[in-house]
C-alpha cells in the first residue's frame, strides 16, 4: 500500500560557508548543515518531526499553501 504524500515548499539558502533551509508553512521548521544534501535530509526529518509533534499535542497540521517560483529580472537590475 502506497502512503499519500504532501508537498511543502522548502527554501534553501547558502552563505558560502554552509546551507540552511526553512519551510514557510511550518514556522520554526528549519535545518542547517555543511552541504545542500545534508540540509535536504535534515529538513525532511524536521518536517516529519514537526508534524508528529503537532499531532501529539492535539494541534492541527497546517496544509501546504506556499508557492515558490523563480522570477527573472535583468542582470543589470540585480548587480551591485
Q: Which domain holds residue 32?
A: 1-63
Nine cell digits for residue 62:
497546517
Is 20 a member of any domain? yes
- pLDDT per residue as tens digits for the range 47-74: 999 999 999 999 999 999 999 999 998 8
pTM of the shown model: 0.85
Specify the number of domains making up the chain: 1
Residue 9 main-chain phi, psi, to 5 deg: -70, 135
Is 49 a member of any domain? yes
Is 76 a member of any domain? no
CA distances 71 to 32, 44, 68, 75, 78, Å, are 25, 25, 9, 12, 12
| CATH number assigned to the domain comprising residue 5 | 3.30.160.250
Q: How confident is the model at residue 76 (pLDDT cuts 50, 70, 90)?
A: confident
Q: Rounded to whole angstroms, how far apart are CA atoms 25 and 66?
A: 6
Is 39 a member of any domain? yes
Is 42 a member of any domain? yes
Amino acid at each position: 500500500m502506497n502512503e499519500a504524500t504532501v508537498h511543502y515548499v522548502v527554501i534553501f539558502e547558502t552563505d558560502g560557508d554552509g546551507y540552511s533551509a526553512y519551510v514557510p508553512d511550518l514556522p520554526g521548521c528549519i535545518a542547517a548543515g555543511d552541504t545542500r544534501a545534508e540540509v535536504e535530509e535534515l529538513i525532511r526529518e524536521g518536517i516529519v518531526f514537526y508534524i508528529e509533534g503537532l499531532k501529539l499535542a492535539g494541534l492541527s497540521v497546517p496544509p501546504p499553501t506556499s508557492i515558490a517560483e523563480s522570477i527573472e529580472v535583468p542582470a543589470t537590475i540585480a548587480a551591485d
